[in-house]
Structure 1
Amino acid sequence: MSMKNLAGKNVLITGAGSGIGRSTALAFARRGARLVLSDINQDNLAKVEFEIAALGATCLALPANVGDDNAMRAFADEVHARVGAVDVLVNNAGIAYCGNFLNSPPESWQRLYDVNVKGVLSGCYLFLPKMIAAGGVRRVVNIASANGFAPLPTLAVYSASKFAVLGFSEALSMELEDTNVGVTVVCPGAINTAITTGAGVVAPSVPEAQKLRLQEYYRNQGTSPDRVADAIVDGVMCGRNMVVVGTSARPSYHVKRLFPSIYRKFAIATSRRMGFL
Structure 2
Amino acid sequence: MTGFENEVVVVTGAGGGIGRAVAQRFARERAAVVVADLDKDRAVQTVESIEEFGGDATPFAVDVADARAMESFADDVHAEFGAPKVLVNNAGYTTAGPFLEHTLEEWDRLMGVNVWGLVHGCTYFGRQMVDSGRGGRVINVTSVAAFTPIPLSAPYCATEAAAQMLTEGLRLEFAGTGVGVTAVCPALVHTGIYENDDADAEDTAAAARTLSVAALAQRYVVHGPESIARTIVRVAARNPAVVPTRIEARALYLATRVSPGGARLAARVLEPEKLTGLRARVTRRGVLTRIDDYLARKLEPGQ
Q: Which moved more, 1:203-212 or 1:73-82?
A: 203-212
Write the mapping of 1:181-260 to structure 2, written as runs, cut at 5 A: 181-191=179-189, 209=207, 212=211, 216=215, 219-220=218-219, 221-246=221-246, 248-260=248-260
Q: CA 1:99/1:12 → structure 2, altered by over 3 Å: closer, same or farther?
A: same
Q: Which residue of 1 aligns with 2:7?
A: 9
Post-superposition shift, 1:261?
Answer: 2.4
Aligned counterpart for 2:32 among listed residues 31, 34, 40: 34
Question: Structure 1: any 5+ residue segments left out of the alignment?
Answer: none
Q: Could you list the per-position Cα deviations for residues 166-222 of structure 1 after superposition, in whole angstroms to 9, with x for gaps in the alignment?
A: 000000000011211010111110247xx96xxxx9799998947946962673342
Partner SS for 1:238: coil
Aligned residue for 2:60, secondary structure, equals strand
Structure 1 residues 180 and 153: alpha-carbon distance in aligned structure 2, compared to 1, 3 A threshold: same
DSSP-derived class of the 1:26 partner: helix
Q: Indicate the larger mover: 56-65 or 262-271.
A: 262-271
Partner of 1:102: 100
* Number of the residue aligned with 2:73: 75
Show the counterpart of 1:45: 43
For 1:84, the aligned partner's letter is G
What TM-score, normalized to structure 2? 0.81
Residue pair 1:15, 1:39 contacting (<8 A) in 2 also: yes
Is the CA contact (8 Å cut-off) linking 1:13 and 1:90 kept in structure 2? Answer: yes
The root-mean-square deviation of aligned C-alpha atoms, in Å, is 2.8
SS of corresponding position for 1:248: helix
- Name which structure has the greater RCO, CA cutoff 8 Å, separation 6+: 1
Q: What TM-score comes out, normalization by structure 1 length?
A: 0.88
Gaps of 5+ in 2: 278-303
**Amino acid in the other structure paired with 2:238:** C
SS in 2 for 1:187: strand
1:12/1:202 Cα in 2 relative to 1: closer, same or farther (>3 Å)? farther
Specify the structure having the higher radius of gyration (Cα): 2
| Residue matched to 1:57 | 55
State the alpha-carbon separation in 1 of the partners of residues 108 and 275 from structure 2. Answer: 24
CA spacing shift, 1:205–1:122, aligned 2, 3 Å = farther
Report sequence identity in percent. 34
| Count, aligned residues | 269
Contact 1:24 1:232 in 2 (8 A): yes
**1:28-56 superposed Cα distances (whole Å, 9 cap, x missing partner):** 11111110111011221111100111222
**Off by >6 Å, runs of 4+ in structure 1:** 201-208, 273-277
